[in-house]
Structure 1
Amino acid sequence: MRLVMFDIDGTLTQTVQADDACFVRALADVFAFRDVVPDWSTYRHCSDSGILAELFLRRTGRALLAIELATFQAYFLSLLTAAIEAQPFSAVDGAAAMLTHLSDHSKFAVSLASGAWEASARLKLASAGLHLPETPGAFADTAPAREDIMRASFASAARTQARESFDGVTYIGDGVWDARASRNLGYRFIGIARDPAKAERLYAEGASHVFENYLDADAFLAALHDC
């Protein structure tokens, strides 16, 4: 059995722009951190917890307090909720059908490994019509480093499947940080990107395949079997 591990924003849900906008606004409204450019690849750990901790240290010279983190998370979640009320989020085309297929296939196990906090991740998934309460996963609440989040997702999937390991792991993501973390862990990586330049960048970072979406199910499944 091979584990297929999914990122969320930009991979399962079309939420990157809305998520970035809400995160940047929350930084300005809660901490008065302005002029933040959402190029998260420049941060040591590309996760909500990692970005916030690093940026807070840069701007204030001290570590973020637990109460400050809770305040930021609550406000960020309220912004996402308002964004959803204005315009519900969409899933990446074909994502729901692919998740169902893989979950029903005896050769594959499915898990989530997202750099988002779990509350916001679950909110975005639900808005996009991807209800995955039974799917094991790990999020930015677990750790700031993407590799640690992925390790925790692996462990959660292994417990769910009542096994110690898998025949292999393929991570599905849309960011260069996803590709780099996969390489660091020895996982295979398949990219999701609609922009040709972004696709080329993912290939350059080690992606075996890059797809715009999951509509060509046969090609995507063939890529999984190739890994």
Structure 2
Amino acid sequence: MHLLIFDIDGTLCDTNYIDELCLVHSAQQVLNIQNISSDWSTYKQSTDSGIILELIETLNLDSEIDMYSTVKRSFIELLEKYFYSNPEYFLPIPGAKNIIPLLLKEGFAIGIATGCWLDSAVLKLEKVGIQINNIPICSADNDIERVNIIKQCITDCSLFYNKDTFSAITYIGDGPWDLLAAKKLDINFLGIAKGNRAILLKELGAHNVFEEYSLIYEYLIQSI
């Protein structure tokens, strides 16, 4: 059985812009700092938990746990607010709503490993209309490092699908940090990206980058 693990932002949900906007705004407001970099590749860990903990550590703030929880709560509340005022920021990546049920029907195992917090992951998937019932999901609540989040997802999927091993494991993502994590774990990587992001992934060594899910589906079916 081939295990496919999906990222969320930019991969299943077209939410990179609103995710970035809300996380930066919440961190600035709660931590009382300005000019936060929204280039997640500049942080030690490109996950919500890793980014916020690094900012708190850099600022040498007291009450680290309280600050962290407050930023997280503010972020989720802001996402909810924007959904009702600007629902156009919460859209599925074209083809993403159908790709998971199609692949499950073909016998693939499916999991989700994301660098965002679980509450925001579920919120975004729900708002864009992607069903994830009975699909193992791991997030930035499990670990600050994406590699460990994916590892946990693999473990959870092994238990869920009752498999000691999988014939292949593939991580599907849109960011350079997704590709890097797959390389560190020595698992396959499929990119879903267009334009400059697609060019960047290829420059970093991604061999298979597709602009749409219909092409990913065809590629995976041919691999069976």
TM-score, normalization by structure 2: 0.94
Give the Cα separation in 2 of the matches to 1:174 and 1:206.
Answer: 13
Distance 1:63 1:198, change over 3 A: farther
Is 1:29 matched up with 2:25?
no
Once the two structures are TM-superposed, the CA of residue 158 in structure 1 deviates from its matched residue by: 0.9
Report the 3-state secondary structure (helix = DSSP H, G, I; strand = E; otherwise coil) of the residue aligned with 1:20: helix
Is 1:78 matched up with 2:77?
yes
Is 1:5 matched up with 2:5?
yes
Once the two structures are TM-superposed, the CA of residue 133 in structure 1 deviates from its matched residue by: 2.9
Aligned to 1:147: 147
Give the Cα separation in 2 of the matches to 1:104 and 1:55.
Answer: 43
Q: Which moved more, 1:136-145 or 1:97-106?
A: 97-106
Give the Cα separation in 2 of the matches to 1:53 and 1:69.
Answer: 7
Is 1:87 matched up with 2:86?
yes
Once the two structures are TM-superposed, the CA of residue 222 in structure 1 deviates from its matched residue by: 3.6
Alpha-carbon contact 2:5-2:113 (below 8 Å) kept: yes
Code of the residue aligned with 1:42 in structure 2: it is: T
Q: Which moved more, 1:153-162 or 1:65-74?
A: 65-74
Give the Cα separation in 1 of the matches to 2:194 and 2:174.
Answer: 10
Unmatched 5+ stretches in structure 1: none
Aligned to 1:203: 202
Once the two structures are TM-superposed, the CA of residue 87 in structure 1 deviates from its matched residue by: 2.4
Give the Cα separation in 1 of the matches to 2:36 and 2:20.
Answer: 10
Alpha-carbon contact 1:53-1:63 (below 8 Å) kept: no
Unmatched 5+ stretches in structure 2: none
Aligned to 1:220: 216
Distance 1:145 1:92, change over 3 A: same
Once the two structures are TM-superposed, the CA of residue 20 in structure 1 deviates from its matched residue by: 0.2
Once the two structures are TM-superposed, the CA of residue 205 in structure 1 deviates from its matched residue by: 2.1
Identity of aligned residues (%): 33
Once the two structures are TM-superposed, the CA of residue 206 in structure 1 deviates from its matched residue by: 2.6
* Shift >3 Å, 4+ stretches: none
Is 1:47 matched up with 2:43?
no
Report the 3-state secondary structure (helix = DSSP H, G, I; strand = E; otherwise coil) of the residue aligned with 1:56: helix
Aligned to 1:97: 98
What value does the CA root-mean-square deviation take over the aligned residues? 1.5
TM-score, normalization by structure 1: 0.93
